Structure formats: structure tokens, C-alpha cells
Amino acid sequence: MMTRFVSVFFFGVLFAGSAAAQTPAPEAPKRAVSVDPPARAAAMPLKSPEVHPDRTVTFRYKDPNAKTVQLQLEGRRDLIPLVRDEAGIWSLTTEPLSPENYGYRLVVDGVRLMDPMDPNIRPNLQNPSSVAPVPGSPAMLWERTDVPHGEVTHHLYVSKRVNDGSQADRDLWVYTPPGYDAKRKDKYPVLYLLHGYSDDASGWWASGQANYILDNMIAQGKVKPMVIVMPLAYGTMDMISKGLNVWSGDYAVPVRNQEMFADQLIGEILPMVEARYNIARDPAHRAIAGLSMGGGHTLFTGLNHPDVFGYVGAMSSAVVCKDYDKVYAGRSKAPLKLFWMSCGTEDTLITANRSLGEWAKANVKGDVQVNETPGMHTWLVWRENLITLAPLLFTK
């Protein structure tokens, strides 16, 4: 197979944290507490967001003609109103926020917009957002700290297994831990980490800070040094081109999507990265994990191929088939070292995940751990999920 690679090295995340061991951080506050006084707002240079030492955050937007401006903040279901001053500047200051990288948008007269004053962007194929990074003290595990850093390398390749008529050019990102040795006798364990619906292959490092999480946890001796492979997790790009309608009706496209992705991952991506990196090729040192759509892929691929992946971690999974015995029939091939799943209690997918979790406890062989955490369908939950899951990998 002719494969072309382009590598770009990153020693840190390009975006200032776009957005889930330890307890998940509380989510965003339930109310705003103040707005800029008119005189002060008119005099100061327009800055948004402005993160204050007490972890309150001020958002500002100038539009004298707007009728309403609201803040859509990650972790909140309701919108928070901004207040306009005499100069036409809309503003609000939140209560102190828990340390996080909060994705947000401004809703101006009902239209969702990026914050024009904010250079930090969370990439997404359908819904990019601005980012308000609220640092912790001490630093959180997902923050860049003064520890040895691994590398995140971008690879482009032409897939030979894409058969839906879409563009065959694909990409993936590979994290190698600090001190990675391509000639080390003991091959590195490897985690195949899958993004969710509407994200792209960069999702887990650009939004989830997976590289910083691993850097910090390796430095603290909490996890084994491992390689992380983050591929484009669409078996068919119909998932994007057909829009949100793919999630309604009989789930025909999502089902085909996970089947096609499993074929691409095992038949093409694994041999490609195994040929390039010093990584293990046995199930005891291979893990698969993912969130949302990627969680559905993790369930389908991992449970049907326990002879390939010994560790399976599903987060807030999009469960698209209810006949678990049929769709996960391959689970009997071998017991898993670990089957781990989690979902936020405020996530709209919690009911489906609870149902699958009960089935898994009775039908999946090996160490089965079913968890719930506070939170919605957000990166605030998934970063903490990775922090909880990573120390459990490759320990059996």
C-alpha cells in the first residue's frame, strides 16, 4: 500500500485549551453576578474574555444595535444574558468558575457567534467555539506545566478502504511520550483514542488536552508511558455531509459508520502505525477508547475484537443498536483485561448507557467497571474520564 506521511511536531497545544484518580471538577455556575458599570466599560480597551485572579470571568461584546446578547457557556443548558451600557458594550462577569477550559459562544439576537475578541478557538467541523481558559492553582492535569513533554505528530495518508465515494485523504495524530525511544526493546503500549461526532482527528489533543494529561500523569508516575494514536474516526463522511439527521430514524448511517470504521482501524490504521512506531501488537498492550460517536466505535470494535484490544474504555457512548447480544457477538473470543465505561448523569445519553452497562456487567468477560459522573455531554466530563481511565491501562 502506498502511504504518504507528513509530520509536524508539537510540544504543546496550539489552542489555549479547547475544550473528561480525581473527582470531576464542578461545572459552570448557575448565574451571573455582575456587569461592567457603564463608565468603566466605555473607558477600558475591549477585552473578552478577561479571566480575573479570583476565577471570575468577564465577557464583553460591542454592538449598539443588538437587541439581546447572551452567553452560551459549556456545562450550562440555559443562556446567560449580557447587559448593554450607554456605549453599546454588552458585558457580564460570572461567579468564580472551577478551573476548566470553557467553550462558549455569544448569541446575538438569536444568532450564535464566535467571540470576535477571543483568539482561542476550539476546532470542530460543525460547531467551532471560542474558549475561556480558567487555570487552576495548582495547575490541573490538563494544563501545560513544567514537566518533560511528549510530541504530537500529524500524519496524512490515502485510505485504500474508504468505499463510500468520499475523499480518501485521511489524517491521524500520534502522541509519543517524553523520552520515546524508537529502538527500545520493550515496545510501548498503545491507546487508540477516538473523537466524537463533529470533531476531527485533532479533537483529543486540541480540545481534550490528552497530550498534557499524559505528560503530567507520566511525570507524577500515575500512568505507564504509552503511545496514543488519534485517527479520523469516521468510517463514512456521510456522518458529516448528511448533518444531524443521521441521528434520527433507524440509525442506518451511524451503524454503517461504525462498521466501516472498524474495518479501517484494524485493516489499515493498525498496520500503518505499527510499521512506523515502536508499539505493541498484542491485546495485553493495546487499548481502545473514545467518546460519544467514538464511544460507540469503541464498543463495537473493542467488544467484537477482544483478541486485538485487551482494554476497552467507552465514554458517553452513542449506542446505536439495542440488540447487544447480536451487535457485540464477537465478545466471546477472549476475556478483556478491562472493560470500562462512564457517562455524565446530566447527559442525554445516560439512559442508553445505563442499559448497556447493566448488560455488560452480565455478559462481558473480564474486569467490568461501569461508572457515572456529574456532568453533561461536554469536554468538562471527558477530560476527567481520561484522567480516571489512563492509570487503569496496561496494569493487568
Q: Are 126 and 148 contained in the same domain? A: no
Which parts of the chain have pLDDT scores under 50?
A: 1-35, 38-39, 41-42
Q: The pTM is what?
A: 0.88
Of 194, 182, 193, nearest to 275 by C-alpha is 182
Q: Are 39 and 71 contained in the same domain? A: yes
Q: Are 39 and 157 contained in the same domain? A: no
Q: Are 104 and 189 contained in the same domain? A: no
Q: Are 70 and 163 contained in the same domain? A: no
**Residue 182: inside a domain:** yes
The domain total for the chain is: 2
Domain residues for the domain of 307 are: 141-392
Q: Are 309 and 362 contained in the same domain? A: yes
**Residue 21: inside a domain:** no
Q: Are 103 and 165 contained in the same domain? A: no
Q: Are 239 and 181 contained in the same domain? A: yes
Task: Tell me the pLDDT tens digit for each residue of 117-148.
Answer: 999 999 999 999 999 999 999 999 999 999 99
User: How far, CA to CA in Å, does 177 sit from each of 155, 174, 226, 239, 303?
Assistant: 17, 10, 6, 32, 27
Please state at what angle helix 210-219 crosses helix 379-389, rounded to 10 degrees: 30
CATH number at residue 40: 2.60.40.10
Structural domain ending residue among the three candidates 86, 110, 133: 133
pLDDT for position 127? 93
pLDDT for position 13? 32
Q: Are 91 and 153 contained in the same domain? A: no
**Residue 18: inside a domain:** no
Grid cell digits, residue 207: 480540545
**Residue 1: inside a domain:** no
Q: Are 37 and 106 contained in the same domain? A: yes
pLDDT for position 348? 96
Alpha helices in the chain (DSSP H): 38-43, 203-206, 210-219, 238-241, 252-264, 270-276, 293-304, 324-327, 350-363, 379-389
